[in-house]
C-alpha cells in the first residue's frame, strides 16, 4: 500500500517538475538574443565592437532628397524620425546593419530602407577603427509611437550574443514635427545638410 502511494507521489512529483521545466525554458530567441548595452541620447556609449553617440532626433512629415538633379519626396502615413549620430569601430572595419525604434507599445519599427542609398544613411556607412563617422538613421512610425520610444543599434541581428546599444529617447512632442526636411549634400563637418521647410 505504502509502495503504491510512494509510486503515485513520484509520478506526481515528476509531472510537477516537467511542467515547471516546460514553462521556464527560455525561448530560442531569448537564448541567442543580443546583449543590451544601455546608453543615453547625446552621450557616448561603448559596445565591444563600436562606440556610438546618437545626437539630434529630427521629426518630419516628409523627407526630401536630391539625386541626379531631381528632387524626390518621401511621404509617409506616420512621422519620419531622422536620427543624427556618430560611430566608430573599435577592432575591425564594420557596418551597422540593424537599428530599430521600439514604440511605447513595444512594437518594433525597423530602419527604413526607402532612403537606403541616400549618402550619409547608415546603410551606406562603413565604420573604421579609430575613425569617427557621422551617419543618419531613418524610421517611419505612427504618431502615437513617437514619445517614449527606445532606439536600438547593433552590428547585425544575425550575430548571436553580440552587443546591442539601447537608448531611451525622451519625449518627442508633436510640435517638433516639421512638414518637410530636405537632406542635402555635404556641408562643413558633416556629410549632409538638413534643412527644415
Partner 1 sequence: MPELQAGERRRYWLSLAALVVVLPAAVLAHTWGSLTQWWANNGRDPINVERGAAQRYAGAEWRMTGLSVLPIGSTGRSVVLAEFEARIEDPAVLMESPCVVALTDAGGRRWQPRFTVHRIVREQRPEAAEKPNCGGLTPEQVQAGATVKMAETFVVPADVDGLALSLIKPNALPGNLVLR
Partner 2 sequence: MSVTPRSTLRQRLFAFLAAGIGGTLAAAMSFAMTVYEAANPNVIPNVEAGSPIDTGRWIVTIREARAGDVPPTGVKPYEPKKFVMVEFDADNRSAATAFVSPRLFTFDPPMENLREPTFYLVRDKWIASAINPDMPERLVVAWEWPEEQPLPQTVRLKVGSEIYKRRDNLYGHSSWFDRDPIAIVELPVTAAESEAEQ
Q: Kindly list the residues in this chain that would bind partner 2 in the complex (CB under 8 A).
A: 25, 27-29, 74-78, 106-110, 112-114, 116, 140-142, 145
Under a CB-based contact definition with an 8 Å cutoff, are residues 22 and 15 in contact? no
76 binds, among partner 1, partner 2, none (CB under 5 to 8 A by kind): partner 2
DSSP-assigned beta bridge partners for residue 82: 58, 138
DSSP-assigned beta bridge partners for residue 53: 86
User: Rounded to whole angstroms, how far apart are CA atoms 185 and 65?
Assistant: 9
Return the residue matching grid coordinates 552590428. 155
**Per-residue contact track with partner 1, 97 to 126, x per CB under 8 A?**
-----------------------------x
CA 97 vs CA 44, 115, 152, 174: distances in Å: 19, 14, 11, 29
140 binds, among partner 1, partner 2, none (CB under 5 to 8 A by kind): partner 2
Decide whether 38 or 116 has the Cβ nearer to partner 2: 116
Decide whether 90 or 114 has the Cβ nearer to partner 2: 114
The reply on whether position 131 binds partner 1 by CB under 8 A is: yes
Q: Minimum Å distance from CB 89 to partner 1? A: 8
Return the residue matching grid coordinates 544575425. 158
User: Rounded to whole angstroms, how far apart are CA atoms 19 and 3?
Assistant: 24
- Residue 84 C-alpha cell reads as 543624427
Contacts of 1 (CB under 8 A, 6+ apart): none
68 binds, among partner 2, partner 1, none (CB under 5 to 8 A by kind): none
Decide whether 3 or 188 has the Cβ nearer to partner 2: 3
Q: Which residues bind partner 1 (CB under 8 A)?
A: 90-93, 126, 128-131
Amino acid at each position: 500500500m505504502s509502495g503504491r502511494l510512494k509510486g503515485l507521489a513520484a509520478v506526481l512529483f515528476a509531472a510537477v517538475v516537467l511542467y515547471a521545466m516546460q514553462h521556464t525554458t527560455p525561448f530560442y530567441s531569448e537564448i541567442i538574443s543580443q546583449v543590451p548595452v544601455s546608453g543615453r541620447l547625446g552621450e557616448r556609449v561603448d559596445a565591444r565592437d563600436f562606440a556610438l553617440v546618437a545626437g539630434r532626433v529630427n521629426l518630419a512629415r516628409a523627407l526630401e532628397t536630391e539625386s541626379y538633379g531631381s528632387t524626390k519626396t518621401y511621404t509617409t502615413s506616420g512621422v519620419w524620425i531622422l536620427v543624427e549620430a556618430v560611430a566608430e569601430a573599435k577592432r575591425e572595419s564594420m557596418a551597422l546593419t540593424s537599428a530599430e525604434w521600439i514604440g511605447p507599445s513595444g512594437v518594433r519599427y525597423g530602419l527604413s530602407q526607402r532612403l537606403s542609398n541616400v549618402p550619409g544613411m547608415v546603410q551606406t556607412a562603413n565604420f573604421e577603427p579609430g575613425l569617427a563617422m557621422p551617419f543618419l538613421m531613418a524610421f517611419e512610425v505612427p504618431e502615437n509611437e513617437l514619445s517614449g520610444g527606445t532606439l536600438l543599434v547593433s552590428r547585425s541581428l544575425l550575430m548571436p550574443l553580440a552587443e546591442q546599444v539601447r537608448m531611451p529617447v525622451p519625449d518627442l512632442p508633436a510640435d517638433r514635427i516639421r512638414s518637410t526636411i530636405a537632406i542635402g549634400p555635404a556641408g562643413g563637418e558633416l556629410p549632409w545638410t538638413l534643412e527644415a521647410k
